């Protein structure tokens, strides 16, 4: 509720940092709609083409917002503020969401709220119950980031470790490319892995100091392994795809969770959350549950629709910023790079 009134706080959230155009309506901290248009066109190119992403965002943004408002049964005039992803992401893609949010808010004479996309992924934990208490650790794993964040409060986040090269999502996507699977390969590896044996092949774990990660060596290892196997058996990929995917997935998951364990031991924090596109991975979700029993952790895993890029996480972050009256100015511009702490 708005302070001193019985009127609910209505936030429209907009996400356009990469290849998903998404809009969401949040009323008093509850997500009433979360509508995402995924840009399938990038599959043809084996990766996201920034220029195409911007153009498709331009085509999708108005219909996506219309549907989000309809699904939530609210009209434009009910909206109190527009929250949008300022960064990090593809500049041209961010520009579409930012410009839309600014002009929409200007026309309605309401404030705008800037949201850091990586904070948004973490804030997705404040959509559904149970919500974590502060402080908690969040493993944020997406196509562009792999981070362990200590979350002290809604907007007080400390980066404890991050990847020194590829992100975990990139490790999935690049492995998929080596295996001849289309982009984005993460969900496909997940599907094949369900049918395979994770102990069929072994890949080594990189020895990276502290709480940082590295995935580029694993990718090279997989590339040489596949090349060698194909020399002996040209049908290796089609015959063993499930086992390869299960073994690679298992390795990525243990690399991630070994660092989470180290972070938990070092900080004494036993509330562990995961966020970002790779948190949709069933191997990561199941292994985290198993480890939580062994290590006495309380784990927080977002619903699937709030793992990959979505505006629900932007709208909920906007709601908490609205409570702080933390508004942005109309001359704000998007940023391709933004730290999770800022």
186 binding ligand KG4? (CB under 6 A)? yes
Query: Of 12, 36, 73, which Cα lies nearest the Cα of 315?
Result: 12
Residue 334 contact among ligand KG4, Zn ion, none, beta carbon within 5 to 8 Å by kind: none
Q: Alpha carbon of 59 to those of 43, 56, 138, 219, 333: distances in Å?
A: 18, 5, 34, 35, 21
318 binding ligand KG4? (CB under 6 A)? no
Pick the binder of ligand KG4 from 87, 143, 198, 318 (CB under 6 A): 143
Residues in contact with ligand KG4, shown as a per-residue x/- string from 17 to 56 under the rule CB under 6 A: -x--------------------------------------
Output 167 or 241, the one with its CB closest to Zn ion. Answer: 167
96 binding ligand KG4? (CB under 6 A)? no
Chain residue at closest Cβ approach to Zn ion: 142
Query: Of 286, 297, 283, which Cα lies nearest the Cα of 190?
Result: 283
213 binding ligand KG4? (CB under 6 A)? no
Output 108 or 339, the one with its CB closest to ligand KG4. Answer: 339
Output 10 or 90, the one with its CB closest to ligand KG4. Answer: 90
Total residues contacting ligand KG4 by CB under 6 A comes to: 19
Q: Binders of ligand KG4 among 228-287, rule CB under 6 A?
A: 276-278, 280-281
Q: How far apart are CA 261 and CA 268, in angstroms?
A: 10
Q: How far apart are CA 195 and CA 277, in angstroms?
A: 21
Considering just the CA atoms, what is the radius of gyration of the chain in Å? 20
Output 250 or 308, the one with its CB closest to ligand KG4. Answer: 308
Cβ contact 302:124 at 8 Å: yes
169 binding ligand KG4? (CB under 6 A)? yes
Cβ contact 21:162 at 8 Å: no
Token pair belonging to 221:
């290892």
172 binding ligand KG4? (CB under 6 A)? yes
Please report how many Cα atoms fall inside a 13 Å half-sphere around the Cα of residue 260, on the Cβ side.
29
309 binding Zn ion? (CB under 5 A)? yes
Token pair belonging to 103:
């002009």
Q: Which residues bind Zn ion (CB under 5 A)?
A: 142, 309
């Amino acid at each position: 509720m708005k302070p001193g009134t019985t009127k609910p706080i209505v936030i429209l959230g907009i996400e356009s940092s990469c290849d998903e155009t998404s809009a969401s309506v949040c009323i008093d901290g509850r997500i009433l709609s979360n509508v995402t248009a995924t840009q399938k066109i990038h599959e043809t190119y084996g990766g996201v083409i920034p220029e195409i992403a911007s153009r498709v965002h331009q085509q999708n943004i108005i219909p996506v917002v219309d549907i989000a408002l309809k699904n939530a049964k609210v009209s434009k005039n009910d909206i109190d503020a527009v929250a949008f992803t300022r960064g990090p992401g593809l500049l041209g893609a961010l520009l579409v969401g930012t410009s839309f949010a600014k002009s929409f808010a200007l026309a309605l004479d309401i404030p705008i709220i800037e949201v850091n996309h990586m904070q948004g992924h973490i804030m997705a934990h404040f959509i559904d119950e149970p919500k974590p208490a502060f402080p908690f650790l969040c493993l944020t794993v997406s196509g562009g980031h792999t981070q362990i964040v200590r979350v002290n409060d809604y907007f007080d986040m400390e980066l404890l470790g991050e990847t020194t090269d590829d992100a975990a999502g990139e490790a999935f996507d690049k492995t998929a490319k080596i295996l001849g699977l289309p982009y984005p390969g993460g969900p496909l590896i997940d599907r094949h892995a369900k049918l395979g044996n994770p102990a069929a092949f072994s890949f080594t774990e990189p020895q990276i100091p502290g709480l940082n990660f590295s995935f580029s060596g694993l990718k090279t290892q997989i590339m040489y392994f596949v090349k060698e196997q194909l020399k002996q058996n040209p049908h290796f990929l089609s015959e063993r795809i499930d086992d390869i995917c299960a073994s690679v997935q298992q390795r990525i998951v243990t690399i991630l969770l070994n660092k989470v364990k180290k972070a938990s031991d070092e900080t004494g924090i036993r509330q562990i959350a995961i966020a970002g596109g790779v948190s949709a991975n069933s191997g990561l979700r199941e292994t985290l549950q198993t480890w939580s029993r062994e290590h006495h952790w309380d784990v927080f895993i977002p619903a699937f629709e709030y793992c990959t890029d979505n505006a629900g996480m932007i709208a909920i972050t906007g709601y908490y910023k609205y409570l702080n009256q933390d508004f942005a100015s109309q001359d704000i511009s998007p940023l391709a790079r933004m730290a999770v702490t800022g």
